[in-house]
Amino acid sequence: MFKKLRESFTTPPVTLHPHAFVEASIAIDRFWTSNRDITKDFDQNYIDHYRNEWAVVILQILQQKSALEIVRNRLIPLMFDFGRLQVLVMDAPPLNDQSGFRGWLGITGELKQNLALLAETEEGLRQWLCSVQPHMTLTEKWNCVLFRYRTLWPRSKS
């Protein structure tokens, strides 16, 4: 599938970074397509859609002379979004912290219980939740946060 996508983009060819597309394809498979922890609640069409979308984006980036700069410009805001969600979905003590963030700069893992307050006061989160649906219950807000976190997670790892 990735070979067909790669061949469909003939102008300009991916010659500046010949192995990067293969490495990116492996990363997409490892961190998204084959990662059941992340994709367990998504249907196969959704998983395939994002896999193909990311493959197209990678090809577009690799066709540029300044691929590294383009990746940096796309990755930095993505990492900030992911980091904000990572500390929000982190479990409070005594549960395990798999991220390793607990204890750093006041990160305690206790934000989840304050989601209602954060959804009203933290501007970025408030705007994003309102763009999904203006009036949601706390459970719906939490599900949206988890969904966003789980769809950002594989992007931040690839």
**Structure letter (DSSP) for residue 95:** S
pLDDT confidence of residue 7: 59
The mean of the pLDDT values for the chain is 78
From CA 88, how far away is CA 80, in angstroms rounded? 13
Structure confidence by residue, pLDDT tens digits, 92-144: 777 777 777 777 766 777 777 888 888 888 888 888 888 888 888 888 888 88
pLDDT confidence of residue 13: 53
Alpha helices in 9-137 (DSSP H): 20-28, 36-39, 44-62, 67-89, 115-121, 123-132
- Asked if 16 and 147 count as a contact pair (C-beta separation under 8 A), the reply is no
HEC per residue, 56-72: HHHHHHHCCCCHHHHHH
pLDDT at 52 over 80: yes
Placement of tokens 């994003």 in the chain:
128
Q: Measured between alpha carbons, how far apart are the two ends of the chain, in Å?
A: 19
